[in-house]
Structure formats: structure tokens, C-alpha cells
Amino acid sequence: MKTAFIFPGQGAQAVGMGKDFYDNFDAARKFFDEADDALGYSISRMCFDGSEDDLKLTANTQPAILVVSVIVSELLKAEGVTAQIGGGHSLGEYSALVAAGSLKFRDAVVLVHKRGQFMQEAVPVGEGSMAAIIGLDDATIIDICAAASAVGEVQAVNFNCPGQTVIAGRTAGVEAAVDKLKAAGAKKAVILPVSAPFHSTLMAPAAKKLAAELDKVELHDAAFPIAANVNGELETAAAQIKANLVAQADHPVKWIDCVAAMKNFGADVFIECGPGKTLCGFNRRIDRQIKSLNVENLDSLKKTLDALRS
């Protein structure tokens, strides 16, 4: 049996996440304490007792989700459940790289905090947006975005699963694309409550700043292959992983391709490590034959361990 660890991205956060791990495992306390020290503020308090508004700020969301996700992967390892392959959606790719030993935990916490800041700074609030498009094929979405870019730059940026694609760009372009996509037969085209057009070409300034920060940290070859968001290809070499992380900031997330690569590698169990069940939901839409489990709290940890041992 080959197991894939997959890690969620922004949007999976919820106040209270990680608290039962912190209360019950010394390892979880160690990770939260290290993250608090690295950031210079209490991400643990924000996760456990903070306001939703504070937690959903991009520069806070990203390290918060990473900390909880890494804790889950470590708790699974402590129970003898190891990954032979992995991947993560957007910021989740950093969590996957920590699990694979390519990035040090402390470095990753600081990197994703800065990544969130850089992404927010790249486009002033209100000038960029994102929208989820449901029930329309990717080719049509790409063509309509190209046409709507005459009003304002917009493109498809998250290929999440068949029938769900996210677009991003200048607010005027996204709004124009949404109208055109609805007219073309999309079941839904919903503007998302986010503060920046993530993974669009408008994030180029963020990618440039991120490259400078990545130059300051040491990356190692990954202990197991990681499916790269930018191309869906499996990678273990540190130099290519670094290049992928830079490109990822202003390029689309090809999650369908990532799942296909992990499946083709031979993964027959996918465990979503971290808050929420978003990626399990994508898996069902990509291939109903995929066995997907998730761990986000003590209850789901027990259920997943029982399922693996049955």
C-alpha cells in the first residue's frame, strides 16, 4: 500500500483548529511554541481563541494552516503511518515539503507568513479578486477569461477538480468574466471573499520577493516525491523544488494534475493532513475510486487510524 499525504491551502482555517492536539500531545505543543517564537507573535493563540477576521488575514492564515498540517503529519508518523508521496494545494505545498524533509519547519513558518504579506502587497485591496466557476469546462473558461481580459486582466488560476475552476485577476476583468461565464452555461460563478488575486500573473511582484527570501533558506532533496502545483510533475531535487515554489506564486495551481501524478505513482490511500476536508472533496470529483481520509482533530485521527488498521 502506498500512502499520499496531501495538505490543504488557504480557506481551510477555522478558529479552534489544533487546540485538541496542543492539549494532548507534547509534539504539538513544541511545534506551536516554535512557530510563535519564529513569528514573534502568538499564532497558537490566534488559532485557538482569535477572531475569525484576524485568522483569515493572509499573513496569519498561511502559517496557521501550515503549523496544524505539519503537526498532523508528525502525529501520523508517530503512529507508524508514513507517506511514500505527497502534495499540497497552494500554501499546502510548503507543508508537504516540511513533511518530506525538504524545508525546515521554522523556515517554512516564516516563509509562508512573508508569502502572505507579499501576495497582499502585490495588488491593493479592492483592485483584484477571485471567483469560483462551477459546472463549465476548462477550455471554455480559459477562452472567456482571455476575452474578458480586454476589460481587466483575468485568468484561470486553480484547476481544482472537474467542474470547479477558480479565476483571478483585476476586479473589473473578473466581474466581466463572471457575467460571460454565466451566460455560457456555468451552474455557478461566485466572487470569493478573498483579498487578492492569488496565483494570477498579478502576483509577479510577490514571486520576485519570495525568490529573495527562498535564497536565504536551505532546501534539501525531498525524502519522497512531491507533486508540484505548477506542472503536476513529481519532484525531489532541492533546486527544482525551489524554482517551483517561486513560480507557484504567480502561476495556476494544477491540482487535478497533481492528484493524477500521485495516483500514477501508485498511491492508493490519500490522507488530507490539516484543517477541513476540501481536498477529499476534490478527490471525489477527480476519481471516485480514490480512498480519501482526513485528519484535522483527535476524532478524525482516531477514525483514520482505525480505517488504516482495519
Cα separation, 243 vs 180, whole angstroms? 35
The single residue of 89, 113, 199, 251 carrying the catalytic annotation is 199
Where residue 85 sits, what CATH number does that domain have? 3.40.366.10
Are 187 and 57 contained in the same domain?
Answer: no
266 by Cβ neighbours in 10 Å (0-12 / 13-18 / 19+) ranks as: exposed
Rounded-to-10 torsion of CA 275, 91, 115, 196:
-80
Q: What is the pTM of this model?
A: 0.97
Are 112 and 33 contained in the same domain?
Answer: yes
Where residue 156 sits, what CATH number does that domain have? 3.30.70.250
Are 38 and 99 contained in the same domain?
Answer: yes
Are 33 and 133 contained in the same domain?
Answer: no
Spell out the per-residue pLDDT of the chain, length 310, in tens.
Answer: 899 999 999 989 999 999 999 999 999 999 999 999 999 999 999 999 999 989 988 999 999 999 999 999 999 999 999 999 999 999 999 999 999 999 999 999 999 999 999 999 999 888 999 999 999 999 999 999 999 999 999 999 999 999 999 999 999 999 999 999 999 999 999 999 887 999 999 999 999 999 999 999 999 999 999 999 999 999 999 999 999 999 999 999 999 999 999 999 999 999 999 999 999 999 999 999 999 999 999 999 999 999 999 8
Are 117 and 262 contained in the same domain?
Answer: yes
Please indicate whether residue 199 is annotated as part of the active site: yes
Cα separation, 153 vs 270, whole angstroms? 36
Are 208 and 84 contained in the same domain?
Answer: yes
Last residue of a domain, one of 169, 194, 219: 194
Are 118 and 141 contained in the same domain?
Answer: no
Are 302 and 231 contained in the same domain?
Answer: yes
Three-state SS across 190-224?
EECCCCCCCCCHHHHHHHHHHHHHHCCCCCCCCCC
Last residue of a domain, one of 153, 169, 194: 194
Are 23 and 51 contained in the same domain?
Answer: yes
State which residues form the domain around 105: 2-122+202-309
Residue 16's pLDDT is what?
97
Cα separation, 275 vs 257, whole angstroms? 22
Last residue of a domain, one of 162, 194, 226: 194
- DSSP three-state, residue 15: coil
The single residue of 90, 129, 195, 200 carrying the catalytic annotation is 90
Residue 277's pLDDT is what?
97
Cα of first residue to Cα of last residue in the chain, in angstroms, is: 13
Are 170 and 224 contained in the same domain?
Answer: no
Residue 1's pLDDT is what?
83
Are 159 and 144 contained in the same domain?
Answer: yes
Rounded-to-10 torsion of CA 310, 260, 10, 225:
80
- DSSP three-state, residue 100: coil
In which element (H, E) is residue 164 found?
A: strand 164-170
Are 118 and 132 contained in the same domain?
Answer: no
Cα separation, 207 vs 70, whole angstroms? 24
CB 164 within 8 A of CB 134: yes
Domain count, the chain: 2
| Cβ neighbour number for residue 116 with a 10 Å cutoff | 22
Residue 54's pLDDT is what?
92
